[in-house]
Amino acid sequence: MIDKRRKNYRHQEREDDFFSEVIQIKRVSKKTKGGNQISFTALMVAGDQNGRVGVALGKGEDVLSAINKGKKLAKKRFFTVSRCQATICHDILVKRGAAKVFLKPAPPGSGIIASQAIKVVMEAVGIQDISAKILGTSNRTSNVYAVIQAFKELKKHESIK
């Protein structure tokens, strides 16, 4: 007899399997008739450190609920990044809003040369050697979303050859 409580455990991914990190937490407020309504936003990144990553902005009444919502949304928005060993396959320049991001593959052993917000995204993907330059804005949220767009525009390794 099959135990009904244990079904779907094989296909269910555990919380421990993912790398998730907070990039930024902001306190936001809205003017209402009764006064200020304060809430929090948390920019979260989640990845399996093997080529899949997701980024999301969670909003909540307190910091913990914003982080949990952001983590859950980031896991829903997973997509696969094409990589060549521990780096990306080719150079890419992406402009998204005011943010411009230039990503360049680096030789093995050089590490992640990027801003702190982008380092977290690279760790979540599993990229170990890359050089990134932020042009334009210094807004973390805009820069992270520009990096995500650059990852989505990367060509597959087979199509380059």
Residue after which a domain boundary falls, among 31, 56, 79: 79
Q: pLDDT in tens for each of the 161 residues of the chain?
A: 455 555 555 545 555 578 899 999 999 999 999 899 999 999 999 999 888 999 999 999 999 999 999 999 999 999 999 888 889 989 999 999 999 999 999 999 999 999 999 999 999 999 999 999 999 899 999 999 999 999 999 876 555 55
Tell me, yes or no, whether 58 lies in a domain.
yes
Q: Please enumerate in sequence order all residues whose Cβ is within 8 A of that of 76, keeping only pairs 6 or more positions apart, or say none.
A: 54, 56
Residues 74 and 115 placed together within one structural domain of the fold: no
Residues 71 and 89 placed together within one structural domain of the fold: no
pLDDT of residue 83: 86
Q: Which CATH number do you get for residue 129?
A: 3.30.230.10
Residues 120 and 134 placed together within one structural domain of the fold: yes
Count of other CB atoms within 10 angstroms of residue 138:
11
- Token duo for residue 84: 């060549």
- Supply the range of the domain harboring residue 121: 83-156
What's the whole-model pTM score? 0.83
Measure the CA–CA gap between 146 and 97, rounded to whole angstroms: 8
Residues 56 and 115 placed together within one structural domain of the fold: no
- What are the tens digits of pLDDT across the range 102-133? 999 999 999 999 999 999 999 999 999 999 99
Contact 49, 123 (CB under 8 A): yes
Q: Please enumerate in sequence order all residues whose Cβ is within 8 A of that of 119, keeping only pairs 6 or more positions apart, or say none.
A: 112
Residue after which a domain boundary falls, among 79, 98, 131: 79
Residues 64 and 91 placed together within one structural domain of the fold: no
